[in-house]
Structure 1
Amino acid sequence: MILPSTADAPGALPAKDLAELAEWVRIASVSSDPERAHDVRRSARWLVEALRRTGFPRAEVWETDGLPAVYASWPAADPGAPVLLVYSHHDVHAVDPSEWKVTEPFSPLLRDGRLHGRGASDAKGQITSHLWALRTHLAHRTAPAVTVRYLIEGEEEVGSVHMADLLAEHPEEVDADVVMVSDSMLWSLEEPTVCAAVRGSVTASLTVRGAERDLHSGAVSGAAANAAVELCRLVDLLGDASGRVTLPGFYDAVAAPAPDLRAGADGVRFDLTDWQAETGTFGAPGEAGFTVPERLWARPSAEVARLSAGRTDAPALGLIPAEASADVLFRLVPDQRADQVADQLRVWLDRHRRPGFTYDLEISSTISDPYRTPPDAPALRALTRAVSHAYGAPARHIGNGGAAPGAQLAGACDAPVLFFGTGLPGDRWHGPDERVEVRALRLGVSALARFFDELPAAGTPAGRKA
């Protein structure tokens, strides 16, 4: 049951639907916490039951060497209809309950038209909007107009470490004419948009050592290597004064935005003050010469996700840390390749090594390439029409500031990948007080229900069997 609220927005979705989502949000499926592994499994079982309640004749848990995924399939009434594979995830990001102010992370609360709770937007809300849309679509049908398949993994928040195994082990089950990733964001509720490109990512951990052990500064200050200072020097060298990344060759493969994305970036309304208020940022630094939407959708970037040095369990007075580490994240755009950027990072580090330190660079195994939905894909046109219908206005194409396994799914399924989300920049993904706009869910249900009708008329990609 949803916690009581005194200011719910008037009736965008049935109370039973919101109660269903709230029930799922209560399950603390934090994949990064080993003590929550049983909750991730509970979440998978919950989703299987929800799929069966919707009517799926096949819904099951897929085990991995880590945490479980969920698979479901419902054949279309017409055996020649297109096959749609929907990808998302049911695990959620870690929480620090002390930082949550509106409600506790897994005690969902409906207030002012928003459902608060970890996973309400990323990505349990997105998945349940699919189920609600399919139920709407099936109100006067016995089977969907397209064959619908779901692959909902349980390890996205820890790097999708067994995603490749799932795709390789179940090629027939994940075969599709069209793939839809539902782990993305809208631009706003006032302007209809369709995500048509996602950035890729390369994550790495850099560790610097300057001594065998922590040192007392009174004995060696001014003459000893300081790992924290050296790490800060390297971090500063990642970007230049204009905001550009300094890896050698980093921009050589950066493609110009496709015309529809260029028009989308130029056409959406952007107010810096509103954007900062929504996202909670104090400013908007970045690559000079580009607007914020351009930086988010069409330009690569480098970020520092974590810095660590010295002891945190005791006063640091008088200490020179022997070791310092940083987690860095690169966002990539077409036509960059993740493996090439990883090599560029290695070359960059080699150029900046200094005597007196050791350096250890570990590139994550879950790097991903950027992906652009083919602009002429009939399914993209069908989705654009469906979103336009739901909003009552023409939808623009935009990019997504984050990454998604678009390239990986496109390769495994030999199919174009679409992106559809109900999240918003102000939903506080990965932060305290995550929330989802009920209106965004309602509009998502309307658009998806229409898409199930639009896709068969769009046909299937040339050269594939329906």
Structure 2
Amino acid sequence: MSGDSFDRLGRGPEPEVLAEWAAVPSVSSDPARASDVRRSAQWLVDAFRRLGFPQAEVWRTAGLPAVYGCLPAADPAAPVLLVYSHHDVHAADPAEWRLGPPFTPVLRDGRLYGRGVSDAKGQVMCHLWALRAHLAHSGLSAPAVTVKFLIEGEEEIGSVHLADLLAEHAGQLAADVVMVSDTMLWSLDHASVCTAVRGSVTATLTVRGARRAIHSGAVSGAAANAASELCRLLAHLHDGGGRITLPGFYEAVAESRPARRASLAALPFDTRTWLTDTGTFTADGEPGYSVPERLWTRPSAEVARVTAGRTDTPALGVIPAEAGADVLLRLVPDQRADQVADQLRAWLGQHRLEGYEYRLDVSSTISDPYETPSDDPALAALVRSVSRAYGSPARAIGNGGAAPAAQLARACDAPVLFFGTGLPGDRWHGPDERASLEALRIGVEVITGFLAELPGCLRPR
């Protein structure tokens, strides 16, 4: 990154700077890209140093590296804000991208296209642009609060070493408030603040019906079929009314307060627009709830992948010996991920059939849901800053995905806020991912205002 390009950060979003970082293919799921993830981490360290961070370093893990940065306030007793996000990105198939290669970002019609520009490198850059603006507007050489960054390199593969980082660097990561910047705005026209994220439990279910694949001409109609049995199991994941069938699953799921449902109902939601933005064909899910309620206040169960037999050759009449599926459960307060994992195991126990072998592998990177305390003064400051940026009152929304917020809250003993600059139409994890320059501009304005307000909301350390 050239010094000249970074010197312009105080003017607001600079797409060419974000494009430079996004051109680094930091795909954490691809072992062949490990060196690129390390290169991405070093790029961010250099960015921190150019902005004047006295502390900026790569934190190595047993897997892929994270980045730590700290820009201290002039007053050593000033409150501390810890910003969490990630610099690794989801895999991209160039053949699916219409506007150019995924790691050759292109600017078109007010949007920057490229893998990672929204999820989540653009969100990290917003904080750097806002810090530069905060210093320029205040005329100070240091921010009003100490700002720390933990930008991990394994979020897209389940944050497998985040717990190790939080334990090893507990002293450096001490904070009065944490902000997760890996979430979305509701829209460019309507002010919103995310106040909750769902938790997650991911698992791989494997069914085996034979010692080896068998030609159907020899056994068809008389032999166990692992693929058919897997489909039967997955069909039992929901009942006829669309509710999840895990035993005890809904015992910890509280109905939303009337005021919360009324607030969500007042959001300007248009089903046709949402379908277009997300690329889905229909709005489906638990009956009796709106799409925003399903996304933010209700749990879900999804089948993310199904495999059976060989996919590199025609089936040729072969009955597969084994079939597998990846299952993803999203949780809401007050569900606990470890309890839901046990419920999933119990569910499988209820539906086993003789003549098949079953295996359920629950990921070690399960996460609990989290909701920001409604009376937290830092949340009030964020709401005011968002409202000012939009010129209208901000409404509370949620985030349909998961984030390690509960883990961060426990490790730092601090409340967690959420602010991101993604939009529902940004195509996260899909082809032609994009970031809106207007969303980035709004993000800079919000964070700049928030930094100015935060000292008055928190007690000095």
Alignment TM-score > 0.5, same fold:
yes
Q: After alignment, is 13-22 or 363-372 more displaced?
A: 13-22
Task: Tell me the CA shift for residue 223 of structure 1.
Answer: 0.2
Post-superposition offset of 1:260 = 6.4
Q: Is the 8 A contact 1:13 1:442 kept in 2?
A: no
Pairs within 5 Å for 1:188-207: 188-207=187-206
SS in 2 for 1:383: helix
Per the alignment, residue 90 of structure 1 pairs with 87
User: What residue identity is the alignment partner of 1:228?
Assistant: A
Choose from 60, 67, 70 the match for 2:67.
Answer: 70
2:294 is paired with a residue whose SS is helix
Q: How does 1:46-65 map to 2 (within 5 A)?
A: 46-65=43-62
Instruction: Tell me the equivalent position of 2:349.
Output: 350
Tell me the equivalent position of 1:417: 416
Q: What fraction of aligned residue pairs are identical, expressed as a percent?
A: 69
Code of the aligned partner of 1:314: T
- Decide whether the 8 Å contact of 2:10 with 2:130 is kept in 1: no
Tell me the CA shift for residue 81 of structure 1.
1.9
| SS of corresponding position for 1:38 | helix
Whole-angstrom distance in 1 between the partners of 2:218 and 2:259: 62
Q: 1:263 to 1:410 in 2, by over 3 A?
A: farther
1:13 Cα deviation from its structure 2 partner: 9.9
Greater mean alpha carbon deviation, residues 219-228 or residues 390-399: 390-399
Alignment of 1:131-150 (within 5 A): 131-139=128-136, 140-150=139-149
1:105 to 102, 105, 108: 102
Whole-angstrom distance in 1 between the partners of 2:367 and 2:153: 18
Q: Is this contact kept in 2: 1:423–1:436, CA < 8 A?
A: yes
* Residue number in structure 1 paired with 2:124: 127
Distance in 1 (alpha carbons) for counterparts of 2:281 and 2:76 = 54
1:33 equivalenced with 2:30 (yes/no):
yes
**Distance of 1:18 and 1:303 partners within structure 2:** 35
- Offset at residue 257 of structure 1 (A): 2.9
Aligned in 2, Cα 1:349/1:20: closer, same or farther, shift over 3 Å? Answer: same
Aligned counterparts, 1:66-465, within 5 A: 66-139=63-136, 140-257=139-256, 261-460=260-459
Residues 99-118 of structure 1: CA deviation (Å, up to 9, x unaligned): 11111100000001110000
CA apart distance, 1:356 = 1.0
- Work out which of the residue numbers 40, 44, 48 in structure 1 matches 2:41: 44
Deviation at 1:75, TM superposition (A): 1.2
Letter in 1 for 2:433: E
- Counterpart of 1:8? none
User: Once the 2 structures are TM-superposed, how far is the Cα of residue 384 of structure 1 from its aligned partner?
Assistant: 0.4
How far apart are the structure 2 equivalents of 1:354 and 1:120? 47
Q: C-alpha separation between the residues in 2 aligned to 1:143 and 1:261?
A: 39
1:26 deviates by: 0.3
Report how far residue 259 of structure 1 moved.
6.5
Length, aligned pairs only: 452
Partner Cα separation in structure 2 for residue 23 and residue 144 of structure 1: 26
Letter of the aligned partner of 1:451 in structure 2?
F
Say which is worse superposed, 399-408 or 258-267, in terms of deviation: 258-267
Indicate the SS of the match to 1:161: coil
Partner amino acid, structure 2, of 1:117: G
Q: Secondary structure at the match of 2:14?
A: helix
CA deviation vs aligned residue, 1:240-285 (integer Å, no higher than 9, x gap)? 1221100000000012335764343122111100000000000011
Gaps spanning 5+ residues in structure 1: where?
2-11
Q: Which amino acid aligns with 1:133?
A: A
Paired residues of 2:303 and 2:326 also in contact (CA < 8 A): yes
**Which ranges of structure 2 fall in alignment gaps of 5 or more residues?**
2-8
In 2, are the aligned partners of 1:13 and 1:438 still within 8 Å (CA)?
no
Change (3 A) 1:260 1:177: farther
Aligned 8 A contact 2:10 2:132 in 1: no
Residues 344-384 of structure 1 deviation map (CA, whole Å, 9 limit, x = unaligned) = 00000000000110000000000000000000000000000
Q: Is 2:242–2:287's contact at 8 Å kept on the other side of the alignment?
A: yes
Change (3 A) 1:13 1:220: farther
Give the corresponding residue for 2:4: none
Distance 1:452 1:50, change over 3 A: same
- TM-score, normalised by the number of residues in structure 2: 0.96
* Residue deviations 1:213-263 (CA, integer Å, cap 9, x gap): 001000000000000000000111001122110000000001233576434
- Mean alpha-carbon deviation: is it higher for 153-162 or for 252-261? 252-261
Q: Secondary structure at the match of 1:303?
A: strand
Q: What is the letter of the counterpart of residue 179 of structure 1?
A: V
Q: Distance in 2 between matches of 1:389 and 1:377?
A: 19
Query: How big is the alpha-carbon RMSD for the aligned residues of Structure 1 and Structure 2?
Result: 1.4
In the TM superposition, residue 459 of structure 1 has moved relative to its aligned partner by 2.0
- For residue 285 of structure 1, give the secondary structure of its aligned residue in structure 2: coil
SS in structure 1 at match of 2:325: strand
Name the CA distance, whole Å, in 1 between partners of 2:63 and 2:419: 27
Residue type at the aligned position of 1:145: A
TM-score (norm 1): 0.95
- What is the aligned partner in structure 2 of residue 4 from structure 1? none
Equivalent-residue separation in structure 2 for 1:256 and 1:409 (angstroms): 26
8 Å CA contact 2:10, 2:129 repeated in 1: no
Instruction: Verify the 8 A CA contact 1:265 1:294 in the aligned structure 2.
Output: yes
- Tell me by how many angstroms 1:183 deviates: 0.4
2: CA distance between counterparts of 1:128 and 1:185? 15
The answer on whether the counterparts of 2:11 and 2:133 sit within 8 Å (CA) in structure 1 is: no
